Amino acid sequence: MKTREEIAQALAACGYIADADLATAVSLMQLLRRPLLLEGEAGVGKTEVAKALASVHATELIRLQCYEGLDQSSALYEWNYQRQLLAIQAHRGGDADTIEDQIFSEKYLLERPLLAAIRRDRPPVLLIDEIDRADDEFEAFLLELLSDFQVSIPELGTIAATCIPHVVLTSNGTRELSDALRRRCLYHYVDYPDVDREARIIMARIEAVSASLALQIARMVEGIRKEELRKVPGVAETLDWVAALVGLGVRDLHDAPETVHETLMCLLKTQEDRARVTREVAERLLGKVA
């Protein structure tokens, strides 16, 4: 088992700057074999955790994006009906049992993410993204899968897991998840990063940026997050903004207040927020950035 310092370093090597808490969560995931439930505002890097985890373990990332109306046939498995029909037509007149055995074999089974995740040779990272968008029924089904790690297909029998995947669930909190699912998982709340961590994230992600500029930007973004905004910018927006500034050749925020104000559209995504952060507000915030 790796210590959490090692895990934090390994994640950092993959471009994800984790705080100590998250590193603990990842080490617990391995120790207790529980899924990890990540909650937090949009754009704080929940999905990135799973991606980084996959590259730390040097394994595949299998992603299931949840949406309203997601059902078993698009999440777990489905029979390939077209091929089955073709096979029936091709073997017309043959022995019924033989045909049946043939068309309900693995060859005609379409793997969907959940089934794929438990049938790999080495444990993949299974990312169940935005679980709060799926329906209650799906959540209940998922709970069963996550505790037994086996799937029963009526025509084929029970398929047991060849490996236990590392499961990461994310939620934006648009719907309250069931207590049963929450209890089953380790819980981690992903907050907006503090200035230091955000600067390190910027430097890890965008190579062309200097340490001083990264720190300036992180401070500026922290100031903007404290304003009364409808949509608070996440880390993804910060990175967009950095890319824009670097692309426009900005080396120091104080040198180019005009550009700073004009590129704020990378951070502020609603008309009201744009109107609220006026030139004066932007300059005031810029003044606080050392």
Stretch that binds other proteins, among 18-26, 201-209, 210-218, 246-254 (CB under 8 A): 18-26
Q: Is 109 in the site for other proteins (CB under 8 A)?
A: no
Radius of gyration for the alpha carbons in the chain, expressed in angstroms and rounded: 24
What count of other Cβ atoms lies within 10 Å of the Cβ of residue 45?
22
Stretch that binds other proteins, among 71-79, 199-207, 213-221, 240-248 (CB under 8 A): 71-79
Within 49-68, the residues that bind other proteins by CB under 8 A are 68
Q: Which two tokens stand for residue 89?
A: 């037509």
**Separation of alpha carbons 198 and 231, rounded Å:** 18
Nearer to other proteins, 105 or 210 (CB): 105
Q: Minimal distance in Å, beta carbon 28 to other proteins?
A: 6
Binding-site member from 46, 51, 166, 188 for other proteins (CB under 8 A): 188
Nearer to other proteins, 77 or 215 (CB): 77
Stretch that binds other proteins, among 6-14, 162-170, 175-183, 248-256 (CB under 8 A): 175-183
Q: Could you report how far apart the first and last alpha carbons of the chain are, in Å?
A: 42
Beta strands in 86-227 (DSSP E): 109-111, 125-129, 150-153, 157-160, 166-171, 186-189
Instruction: Identify the bridge partners of residue 125 per DSSP, sorted by sequence position.
Output: 61, 166
**Separation of alpha carbons 123 and 121, rounded Å:** 7
Show the binding pattern over residues 230-269: x = contacts other proteins (CB under 8 A), - = does not. ----------------------------------------
Q: Is 25 in the site for other proteins (CB under 8 A)?
A: yes
**Separation of alpha carbons 13 and 20, rounded Å:** 15
DSSP letter (8 states) at residue 123 = P
Q: Is 182 in the site for other proteins (CB under 8 A)?
A: yes
What backbone torsions phi and psi does residue 270 show, to the nearest 5 degrees?
-130, 155
DSSP letter (8 states) at residue 252 = -
**Separation of alpha carbons 271 and 265, rounded Å:** 10
Binding-site member from 6, 21, 144, 258 for other proteins (CB under 8 A): 21
Q: Which two tokens stand for residue 156?
A: 């084929």
Q: Are 110 and 79 in contact (CB under 8 A)?
A: yes
**Separation of alpha carbons 199 and 213, rounded Å:** 9
Q: Minimal distance in Å, beta carbon 190 to other proteins?
A: 10
Binding-site member from 9, 79, 112, 225 for other proteins (CB under 8 A): 79
Show the binding pattern over residues 110-149: x = contacts other proteins (CB under 8 A), - = does not. -------------------------xx-------------
Number of residues that bind other proteins (CB under 8 A): 34
Instruction: Tell me which residues touch other proteins (CB under 8 A).
Output: 4, 20-21, 24-25, 28, 31-32, 34, 36, 39, 68-69, 73, 78-79, 81, 84-85, 88-89, 135-136, 173-174, 179, 182-183, 185-189, 228
